[in-house]
Amino acid sequence: MSVEASEIIGKKVLVTQTRSLSGRNKRVRATMSSLGLGKISSKKEHVLTESTHGMLVKVRHLVKVEAL
């Protein structure tokens, strides 16, 4: 995410899984599960909070995030 986190907290985002979890460690799998994702192309809408933003930063190589 290229914008400052404090500017986007509270807004809705659509998170789409773009890459497989195969071969990923348990922490990455758990983060993706807590985001409601598990299969490629699965989508979930979230209100961006500080904790959600932190999770998205940790799995940014596996997801695509779009503002709504």
Amino acid at 4: E
| pLDDT at res. 7 | 72
The C-alpha torsion from 42 through 50 and 31 to 14, rounded to 10°, is: 0
Range 15-41 average pLDDT = 95
- H or E element in which residue 58 lies: helix 50-58
Over residues 3-18, the pLDDT tens digits come to 566 677 889 999 999 9
Rounded Cα distance between 22 and 53, Å, is: 23
| In contact, 27 and 56? CB cutoff 8 Å | no
Band of pLDDT at residue 1, cut at 50, 70 and 90 = very low
Over residues 52-63, the pLDDT tens digits come to 999 999 999 999
Name the class of domain 5-67. alpha beta
